[in-house]
């Protein structure tokens, strides 16, 4: 996707603050199989950036959040923020994240629109939906 200079937003970044930096770095880097795009060390502080592909911001009302949680987790479990990451191989991505500290919230489901979704939780409690788009949706 090319950046249109006339478009008001060029990039979405989400920043997570954690009390266990190394654990969360291992979870996202090893668990998703990606290398940092940038690393910053300022005095005693540490930070890195992961390129997560194309970004969008979804805004749900409570009823929609309830619907999605029911589909993916069987009950309302998400807080105000949940990551949804499209992956090419749901089973492989799920296994990598589970091996790196993810908690399985609910086994994989097929959504009414045909995608394969699984709900996980990162070591700090962030809800994560992994989804693989069905071949007929592409």
3-state secondary structure of 121: strand
Q: What is the pTM of this model?
A: 0.88
pLDDT of residue 118: 98
For the chain, 138 residues long, give each residue's pLDDT as a single digit of tens.
Answer: 556 778 888 888 999 999 999 999 999 999 999 999 999 998 899 999 999 999 999 999 999 999 999 999 999 999 999 999 999 999 999 999 999 999 999 999 999 999 999 999 999 999 999 999 987 655
Fold of domain 62-132: 2,3-Dihydroxybiphenyl 1,2-Dioxygenase; domain 1 (3.10.180)
pLDDT of residue 138: 57
Residue 91 phi, psi dihedral angles, 5° rounding? -60, -45
pLDDT of residue 136: 67
Positive or negative, the CA dihedral 98, 101, 102, 105 is positive
* Contact predicate 89/56, CB 8 Å: no
Distance (Å, whole) CA 99 – CA 120: 12
> What are the domain boundaries of the chain?
62-132
pLDDT of residue 2: 57
pLDDT of residue 18: 96
């Amino acid at each position: 996707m090319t950046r249109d200079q006339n478009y008001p937003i060029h990039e979405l970044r989400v920043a997570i603050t954690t009390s266990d930096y190394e654990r969360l770095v291992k979870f996202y880097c090893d668990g998703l199989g990606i290398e940092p795009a940038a690393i910053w060390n300022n005095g005693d502080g540490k930070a890195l950036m992961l390129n997560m592909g194309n970004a969008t911001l979804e805004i749900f009302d409570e009823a929609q959040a309830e619907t999605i949680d029911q589909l993916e987790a069987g009950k309302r479990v998400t807080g105000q923020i949940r990551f949804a990451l499209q992956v090419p191989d749901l089973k492989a991505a799920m296994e990598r994240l589970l091996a790196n500290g993810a908690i399985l919230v609910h086994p994989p489901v097929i959504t009414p629109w045909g995608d394969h979704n699984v709900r996980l939780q990162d070591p700090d409690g962030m809800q994560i939906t992994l989804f693989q788009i069905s071949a007929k949706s592409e």
